[in-house]
Chain A
Amino acid sequence: DAGVTQSPTHLIKTRGQHVTLRCSPISGHKSVSWYQQVLGQGPQFIFQYYEKEERGRGNFPDRFSARQFPNYSSELNVNALLLGDSALYLCASRAVGSGRMGMSTDTQYFGPGTRLTVL
């Protein structure tokens, strides 16, 4: 079975542009979370979605938005890009309720990330 997938792998944008990052959760996982990891630091929570509704938001400006689709995939959008938005963006999915054998319902499983560079 496929793990969490993210696209694109790498992205280069210029200041002021808009970017959309995509995430597909593990099959059967209904919760998706987004994290920003700046070089040399631990990931910082941005958003959490469950059943297509936002259920949590970290300390990020309104330039950051996200949504979840009926198939539980998710998009993270960032408007008016700043140099400081350069980071690795990680998506994680989590089973809620009965998890598949071998997968905890209380554990987030991460995708490979999208590396965003803002010039």
Chain B
Amino acid sequence: AQTVTQSQPEMSVQEAETVTLSCTYDTSENNYYLFWYKQPPSRQMILVIRQEAYKQQNATENRFSVNFQKAAKSFSLKISDSQLGDTAMYFCAYADRGSTLGRLYFGRGTQLTVWP
């Protein structure tokens, strides 16, 4: 079964600094998707960034980028120029590709706090 592990329960960073959140996963599949979702105190789950496993190029969305290491089954999220609004719980998630529907497997989350 697919599993997702986030080994950092909590992280903190000063405003304008850079922080990296770690995620590893386990799968026997070759084609799949990886996601980072953000869940602020409002509890709304918001997509941050997605990566398709067959693409070697790391995904980037403005201040957010990933370091995808397929052989190592590692998928870390780098947040540059951290802002107070980035304070949230961050979840790493995995989904098989190929199925028309898919299901998400989530890690336990990393609580990120950005302080002034």
Give chain A's interface residue range (CB within 8 Å of chain B): 20 to 34
Chain B CB within 10 Å, residue with most, of A88, A96, A107: A107
Question: A48 CA to B33 CA in the complex, in Å?
Answer: 17
Query: A35's contact among B52, B97, B104, B108, by CB below 8 Å, is which?
Result: B104
Residue of A nearest to B33 (CB): A106
Assign chain B's interface to a size class. 20 to 34
Q: If A41-B108, A106-B50 touch, does A88 touch B43 (CB 8 Å cutoff)?
A: yes
Measured between beta carbons, the chain A residues less than 8 angstroms from B45 are: 43, 90, 92, 110, 113
In the docked arrangement, what's the CA distance between A41 and B43, Å?
12
| Chain B residues, CB < 8 A from A56 | 101, 103
Q: Is the beta-carbon distance between B50 and A104 smaller than 8 angstroms?
A: yes
Contact in complex: A41, B47 (CB < 8 Å)? no
B39 to chain A, nearest CB (A): 9
State the B residues within 8 Å of A (CB). 4, 33, 35, 37, 42-47, 50, 52, 91, 93, 95, 97, 100-109
A interface residue numbers (CB < 8 A to B) = 31, 33, 35, 40-45, 48, 50, 55-56, 58, 88, 90, 92, 94, 96, 104, 106-110, 112-113, 115
